[in-house]
Amino acid sequence: MGRIIDVLGKGTPDSQGFPYAAQAGLLWVTSDERAQEWPRRYLEEARGFGGMLVWTQGNRYRMRPGDFVRQLEALEAEVDPFAWGLRHIKPEP
């Protein structure tokens, strides 16, 4: 598995990146809150995708990389962490 940027190039718009990730069954990880339009659109159209993990810029700067990794590992332990398609990573209380 790789990153979308490695396959499609830097600056690829979400309008190309998200469909690619969806077709490939990849998890889309972003800090761009506007990108949440894509999973909403896919869910409305009953189209499948691998999932989206949103790590907002405000939260990203309040967390250490290890915090992010621990939350990813916790998602891995769930049976179907992206059953609803979209999840958020945020600082632990």
pLDDT per position as a tens digit, 15-41: 899 999 999 888 888 888 888 899 999
- Predicted confidence at residue 63, as pLDDT, reads 86
pLDDT per position as a tens digit, 53-92: 988 888 878 888 888 889 889 998 999 999 888 898 888 8
- Under 8 Å between Cβ of 84 and 40: no
- Predicted confidence at residue 1, as pLDDT, reads 58
Q: Which two tokens stand for residue 26?
A: 């990849």
Residue closest to 91 by CA, chosen among 70, 48, 23: 70
Q: Measured between alpha carbons, how far is 26 from 52 in angstroms, rounded to an integer? A: 9
- Predicted confidence at residue 45, as pLDDT, reads 94
Distances (CA, A) of 43 to 25, 51, 86: 15, 11, 10
- Predicted confidence at residue 3, as pLDDT, reads 79
